[in-house]
Chains A and B, each alone.
Chain A
Amino acid sequence: MVTSLPNSPVESAVSLRGVAKSFNGVVALDDLEVIAPDGRITVLLGPNGAGKTTAIRIVTGAMSPDGGTVRTLGLDPATDGEEVRRACGVVSAKPALYDRLSGTDNLRYAAELHGVDERIIDARIHAAAGRFGISHALDAQVGGFSTGMKTRLALARSVLHEPRLLLFDEPTSGLDPESAQAVLQLIREMTDDGHTVVMCTHHLVEAEGLADHVVVLDAGTDLVSGRPEDLIRRYWPEDRVDVATEGGAPLDDLAVIAGVRRTEPLTAGVRVVLEDPSVTPDVVEALVRAGHRVTRIVPHEPTLEELYFAVRRSSRDLGESLPEEVGR
């Protein structure tokens, strides 16, 4: 991996601490804390206007924060901006390509600005284009590309200079599901090569299975962050199994089984909240003994989507309770 920065390990590839940013009095970021571990995919999850794009811009030094501390690959973008940006590959929400130029010219422009050695630019262009499946279109004017092709070209452009840190802002925006899936797969492959990826999205399904680390943002601040499995365990400390039976008979009596804390009705069947996963065979046995024919019994793994809404709900509840506490 070629990079201008020393290869000494840094605690985290990106560290934003207490970062604030306002535009003409409108708060975009407020006391934002983001830590992106090195060599992992960190996903910034949040609705539109949560501050994800502003955070990315601050990471590269394209934008200066009003307050707080920013470290990108151990450097301060305010003073070492050029070095930081040379080590970053960015794909913005709009691909930001030059429509009149060909694919090759767009890639060459980026390579030259990033200081890639002239002797290896062509090889890099062909390697990146091949990796993202756009070799056949390199000579065509980008204005005629489909949205998917443009995204692939933007992705190829982001890796030309072999950056250590990749920043993707809604990289699947405007793509059909198939292209989006392909792009996400390519992003996953990048971390296999040792890249650190920070990706913004409001598509929760995209983050599922991709994120090694999640930061949930809302209104310019981080609500929660951590590994998805840790966060899920934090929000759902109990084990759950989803049970369905033939005929959809009521299963309220399961609550009386030792080790079952409660049941929650589902559209088809019931979710059984357990003290311990070892209680599951007891649940099955009780159902059979009661004459139910079990058609489905699966441990429930909360999705990132569920986590996201749980975090948002919890944040809202906290926000609503605050005035009361202050009033006391």
Chain B
Amino acid sequence: MNWSRTLTVARTDVRQLVLAKDFWMPMGILGSIFFVVVPLILLLSITSLGDVAAVQNIADTLDLLPQQAQEQIRGDTPQGRTSYALAVFLFAPMAVVVPLTISTAVGAASLVGERERGTGEFLAHSPAGTKEIYLGKLLASLLPGYFTTMVGFTAYSLIVNLIVGPEVGGWFFPTTQWWLLMLWVLPGFLLIGLSLVLRLSGRVRSTAAAQQASGLITLPLIAVSYAQASGAIYGTPTTTIVIGAIAWSIGVASTWRGMSAVKRQRLLGVADGV
């Protein structure tokens, strides 16, 4: 295993993505919608509405949250408590959906794309090992989604602190749970998703087929991630760490198995069934 070659594959793939405006512009727009536009509208609306019945109703529903989560909520007014709860709890799953969507799109095209463009021939004749190629592609698929999410997360943190902060007595975001979610749980789920998508990408005949099939895999995974991300935020830090550890374990096992998905013959497009 030559890590230098793995990084070379990853770096070259990322470079190609950076040069592809048709890729990163939609990616930026998607991140902006989830991390900036929607939170901005929602939080601004709530904080500027004042003590109206609608806000009071939402504030009342906060009693349905787990005790652990209720204890975390800060703020003395209904709009303060409501906007805090929305900022901390509602948007957590988005942090998982955005990178999974972006990374899946990249990963689905990665191996089958080499074959379609004919560059698989170059890789097949190169000294790079199939495991190195697989891991390089996995890294190159993971980074754009994770990077977009981290940029979006930074913007989101700023928005939350600027809008909700004054209502609850100062800047409070990211909370410990959010740090754990972003730095520990999220990469684990990304790893699970991408290891599966890359295996598909190594086996199917076209990028279109890879994207169709990866949708089937990632939709349930997004649903699970959505639930787990919520759990991670509502629960204690220990719960979050355990959820992350489970995700990482599954992700690593799946990646290990996935490394056998890359075959030189498949890169050439002549393996059985390809």
Let me know if A114 and B126 touch, CB within 8 A: yes
Pair count A-B, CB < 8 A: 81
Which residue of the partner chain, among B8, B15, B118, B129, contacts A94 with CB atoms under 8 Å? B118
**Does B71 reach chain A (CB closer than 8 Å)?**
no
Interface mask (B35-71 → A, CB under 8 Å = 1, otherwise 0): 0000000000000000000000000000000000000
Residues of A within 8 A of B (CB): 23-24, 57, 60-64, 82-83, 85-86, 88, 90, 92, 94-101, 105, 109-110, 112-115, 141, 167
Which residue of the partner chain, among A60, A82, A92, A101, contacts B19 with CB atoms under 8 Å? A101
In order of increasing CB-CB distance, the 10 nearest A-B pairs are A62-B124, A96-B122, A90-B125, A112-B8, A94-B118, A85-B127, A92-B121, A86-B127, A96-B121, A113-B126
**Does B205 reach chain A (CB closer than 8 Å)?**
no
- Can you name the residue of chain B whose Cβ is closest to the Cβ of A89? B125
The CA-CA distance from A96 to B270 in the complex, in Å, is 16
7 residue pairs bridging A and B, Cβ less than 8 Å apart:
A62-B268, A90-B122, A94-B118, A94-B121, A97-B119, A113-B127, A167-B125
The CA-CA distance from A86 to B122 in the complex, in Å, is 13
**Does B5 reach chain A (CB closer than 8 Å)?**
yes
Interface mask (B84-123 → A, CB under 8 Å = 1, otherwise 0): 0000000000000000000000000000000001111110
Given contacts A63-B268, A113-B5, contact A100 B125 (CB under 8 A): no
**Does B212 reach chain A (CB closer than 8 Å)?**
no
Let me know if B127 and A100 touch, CB within 8 A: no
**Does B74 reach chain A (CB closer than 8 Å)?**
no
Let me know if B125 and A85 touch, CB within 8 A: yes
Residues of B within 8 A of A (CB): 4-5, 8-9, 12, 15-16, 19-20, 117-122, 124-129, 264-265, 267-268, 270, 272
The CA-CA distance from A94 to B264 in the complex, in Å, is 17
**Which secondary structure dominates chain B's binding surface?**
helix
Expressed in whole angstroms, the minimum distance between the Cβ of B136 and any Cβ of chain A is 10
The CA-CA distance from A83 to B129 in the complex, in Å, is 11
Q: Which residues of the partner chain B approach A113 to less than 8 Å between Cβ atoms?
A: 5, 8-9, 126-128
Let me know if B272 and A88 touch, CB within 8 A: no
Let me know if A96 and B19 touch, CB within 8 A: no
Let me know if A99 and B117 touch, CB within 8 A: yes
Let me know if B121 and A82 touch, CB within 8 A: no
- Can you name the residue of chain B whose Cβ is closest to the Cβ of A109? B12
Which residue of the partner chain, among A92, A99, A167, contacts B122 with CB atoms under 8 Å? A92
Q: Which residues of the partner chain A approach B265 to less than 8 Å between Cβ atoms?
A: 62-64
Expressed in whole angstroms, the minimum distance between the Cβ of A102 and any Cβ of chain B is 9
The CA-CA distance from A63 to B269 in the complex, in Å, is 11
Let me know if A62 and B5 touch, CB within 8 A: no
Let me know if B122 and A85 touch, CB within 8 A: no
The CA-CA distance from A3 to B81 in the complex, in Å, is 69
Expressed in whole angstroms, the minimum distance between the Cβ of B100 and any Cβ of chain A is 25
Q: Which residues of the partner chain A approach B19 to less than 8 Å between Cβ atoms?
A: 100-101, 141
Let me know if A92 and B118 touch, CB within 8 A: yes
Which residue of the partner chain, among A24, A57, A82, contacts B272 with CB atoms under 8 Å? A24
Q: Which residues of the partner chain A approach B267 to less than 8 Å between Cβ atoms?
A: 62
Q: Which residues of the partner chain A approach B264 to less than 8 Å between Cβ atoms?
A: 61-63
- Can you name the residue of chain A whose Cβ is closest to the Cβ of B126? A113
Most buried by A among B121, B128, B267: B121
The CA-CA distance from A309 to B120 in the complex, in Å, is 35
Expressed in whole angstroms, the minimum distance between the Cβ of B3 and any Cβ of chain A is 12
Let me know if B8 and A109 touch, CB within 8 A: yes
Which residue of the partner chain, among A24, A92, A99, contacts B125 with CB atoms under 8 Å? A92
Which residue of the partner chain, among A82, A97, A110, contacts B129 with CB atoms under 8 Å? A82
The CA-CA distance from A86 to B119 in the complex, in Å, is 17
Let me know if B127 and A115 touch, CB within 8 A: yes
Let me know if A85 and B270 touch, CB within 8 A: no
Expressed in whole angstroms, the minimum distance between the Cβ of A70 and any Cβ of chain B is 14
Q: Which residues of the partner chain B approach A101 to less than 8 Å between Cβ atoms?
A: 12, 15-16, 19
Most buried by A among B8, B122, B126, B128: B122
The CA-CA distance from A115 to B129 in the complex, in Å, is 13
- Can you name the residue of chain A whose Cβ is closest to the Cβ of B8? A112
Most buried by A among B120, B127, B264, B272: B127
Which residue of the partner chain, among B4, B9, B12, B127, contacts A105 with CB atoms under 8 Å? B12
The CA-CA distance from A97 to B120 in the complex, in Å, is 10
Expressed in whole angstroms, the minimum distance between the Cβ of A289 and any Cβ of chain B is 64
Q: Which residues of the partner chain B approach A64 to less than 8 Å between Cβ atoms?
A: 265
Which residue of the partner chain, among A24, A96, A114, A141, contacts B127 with CB atoms under 8 Å? A114
The CA-CA distance from A100 to B15 in the complex, in Å, is 9
The CA-CA distance from A98 to B128 in the complex, in Å, is 17
The CA-CA distance from A202 to B182 in the complex, in Å, is 57
Q: Which residues of the partner chain A approach B272 to less than 8 Å between Cβ atoms?
A: 23-24
Q: Which residues of the partner chain B approach A86 to less than 8 Å between Cβ atoms?
A: 127
The CA-CA distance from A57 to B12 in the complex, in Å, is 24
Expressed in whole angstroms, the minimum distance between the Cβ of B122 and any Cβ of chain A is 4
Expressed in whole angstroms, the minimum distance between the Cβ of B245 and any Cβ of chain A is 35
Q: Which residues of the partner chain A approach B8 to less than 8 Å between Cβ atoms?
A: 109, 112-113
The CA-CA distance from A62 to B272 in the complex, in Å, is 15
4 additional A-B pairs beyond A82-B127, A90-B125, A96-B118, beta carbons within 8 Å, are A95-B118, A109-B8, A112-B8, A113-B128
Let me know if A98 and B119 touch, CB within 8 A: yes
Which residue of the partner chain, among A88, A96, A98, A112, contacts B16 with CB atoms under 8 Å? A98
Q: Which residues of the partner chain B approach A92 to less than 8 Å between Cβ atoms?
A: 118, 121-122, 125
Q: Which residues of the partner chain B approach A88 to less than 8 Å between Cβ atoms?
A: 125
Which residue of the partner chain, among B4, B129, B270, contacts A23 with CB atoms under 8 Å? B270
